[in-house]
Amino acid sequence: MSLSRLVKQIGLPRDQVMQAIGWLAREDKLAFEDNGRNKLVCLREET
């Protein structure tokens, strides 16, 4: 899901969503992918 769509779907301020994304990324729970002008983010599968 794109970051902008995620912010809209969650309905919280963008800053809070970005803080949560940063925390999950630091915990290695997210995968990021560049898709042209957009950044896509998805949850990593547990192994």
State the residue range of the domain holding 23: 3-43
* Chain segment 1-47, per-residue pLDDT in tens: 888 899 999 999 999 999 999 999 999 999 999 988 888 999 998 76
pLDDT of residue 28: 95
Closest to 2 measured CA to CA, from 38, 43, 45: 38
**Longest CA pairwise span in the chain (Å):** 32
3-state SS assignment for residue 42: strand
pLDDT of residue 7: 92
The total number of structural domains in the chain stands at 1
pLDDT of residue 15: 96
